[in-house]
Structure 1
C-alpha cells in the first residue's frame, strides 16, 4: 500500500474546495465558509474526545480522520498552508514542552494552563 500523507490530503482538499462539484462535501464546506467549517471542526473534536474515552481503536481512528480532514479544510479556507503548521510544530520541538508552554503563558493564560 502506498503511503498517504497529510500533504496528499491537503492537495485533494485544495482541489475539491475550489471546484463547483455539487457532489463534493469539501466544495460544500468551502461554499459555507469559515464559520460553518470551524463549527464542524469543533463537533469533530468533541466526537474524537468521546471516542478516545469510550470507543474502540477503530472508532478512534475514524473520528481522528474526520478531525484531521476538517482541520485541513479550515486551514485551506483561511489560506494557512499545512507547511506553516508543520513549521510551528518543528519550532516547538526544538525546546522542551515545558519551556514552550512557558513561552506561550507569557501571552496569557489558556484553559490548558488552568488544568
Structure 2
C-alpha cells in the first residue's frame, strides 16, 4: 500500500503549475486555461468509462490516475482547494443516500 495521497498530488500540481509551459505539462494545461483543462478532464473521464465498460482493469487503473490528475489541475485553475471537495464528500456521507432522500419534502 502506498502513502501517496490526493493531497500529495494537489501539492505537486500546485508546484508544477508555477513552472514554465515548456518545462511542465501541468503548467502548459494551466496556461491553456480552464476550457482546455476541462476538455482534457472530460476526455480522461470518457476513457475511464470505456475501460470500465470493457472490464479492462489495467487500463481503468491507468485512466483513473489520469482522471484524478486532470481533476486536480481543473481544481487548481478554479482555485478550489481539495479540502473543499473533501468537506463536501464528508457532508454528503454524514447519512446514507437513502436516508437523505427520504428526509426530503416533496414539492
| TM-score w.r.t. length of structure 2 | 0.88
Runs (5+) with no aligned partner, structure 1: 107-115
- How much has 1:58 moved relative to structure 2? 1.1
Q: Which runs of 4+ in 1 moved over 4 A?
A: 99-104
d(CA) in 1 for partners of 2:102, 2:22: 47
Q: With the length of structure 1 as denominator, give the TM-score of the two structures.
A: 0.82
Deviations 1:55-75 (A, max 9, x none): 421111000000000000000
Q: Which runs of 5+ in 2 are unaligned?
A: none
Deviation by residue 1:31-80 (Cα, 9 ceiling, x = unmatched): 00101100110111000000001142111100000000000000000000
Task: Give distance in 2, aligned partners of 1:74 and 1:60.
Answer: 21
Q: 1:96 to 1:15 in 2, by over 3 A?
A: same
Shift of 1:101: 5.5
Alignment-derived partner of residue 111 in structure 1: none
Report matched runs for 1:57-96 at 5 Å: 57-96=57-96
Matched, 1:26 2:19: no
d(CA) in 2 for partners of 1:35, 1:48: 20
RMSD of the alignment, in Å? 2.1
DSSP 3-state at the match of 1:88: helix
Matched, 1:12 2:9: no
Distance 2:24 2:44 in 1: 19
